[in-house]
Amino acid sequence: MFIDTHCHFDFPPFTDHLADSIDKIRQADIVGLIIPAVSANYFNTVLQLADNYCEIYAALGLHPIYQHTMADLELLTNIVKTKPKKLIAIGEIGLDRYDLSIDWQQQLSFFRSQLALAKQFDLPVLIHSRKAHDIMYHELHRANLPCRGVIHGFSGSYQQAMQFVKLGYYIGVGGVISYERANKTRNTIAQLPLESLVLETDAPDMPLNGRQGQINRPEYIAEVFKILTQLRNESAEHIRSTILINTLTLFNRINRMKITQNK
């Protein structure tokens, strides 16, 4: 039984074959799937998917590598104010220093505004941080969100991860750990406190080793979990139950009663 804390299920690989995609996640024992929007164009789709399917939950945000306007930020704010029933996080938001052509000051401005929104409405955040971990740490430390959130797709050092963990953030564990060459990430995930980890796929992106060039899918989260158990010293059952508790603790608006009944 799994909860995928980061899956772009609103993208065409899934929405073009929605009935089949939903059937596949149910067969894979995925009892929760969080869809983070990346731009205002996806807000309605994400909210509709969450309304239509009991397993799906929504996160709304403005991703740092997309172009946004103040009208987009205003729309996000107005939607969050209405408190949609299955909106459980702000995301995907963050900072990205990989492509230096993207306006850095605009990134910072949108990011800080969305952190403030999450703080105002007591929502966790789904964080994109690429080549920006040190800056990200200072921004999150300053924001002091009550609900914290997930550092998504983390591939930094153990020391950087522990800085986020000590702030109260969780580390998203995805397909990167399937690559033996990703020694730094694998060693980091092996050493971090189990209580700081959650599972994610980032589907349709971040394919697992052996599936390069293919569409990643949320049902592959079982393989991420299996690899995680091979990296850790705890029993598979202890890892599974702890990660489920971590996820439900952070995303406390997930229907805990339904998850427990399914368990």
Q: Is 17 annotated as a binding residue?
A: no
Do 123 and 94 meet the contact criterion of CB atoms below 8 Å apart?
Answer: no
Structure tokens at 204: 């349709």
Q: Is 6 annotated as a binding residue?
A: yes
The two beta strands, 56-60 and 30-36, are parallel
Positive or negative, the CA dihedral 155, 167, 127, 190 is: positive
Q: At what angle do helices 221-231 and 183-191 cross, to 10 degrees?
A: 70
Task: Name the CA radius of gyration of the chain, rounded.
Answer: 17
Q: Give 136's Cβ-side CA count (13 Å radius).
A: 29
Q: Is 8 annotated as a binding residue?
A: yes
Q: Is 138 annotated as a binding residue?
A: no
Query: Looking at residue 29, what DSSP letter applies?
Result: T
What is d(CA 210, CA 213) in angstroms, rounded to the nearest whole number? 9
Q: Is 202 annotated as a binding residue?
A: yes
Q: Which residues are annotated as a binding site for a divalent metal cation?
A: 6, 8, 92, 128, 152, 202
Annotated binding-site positions: 6, 8, 92, 128, 152, 202
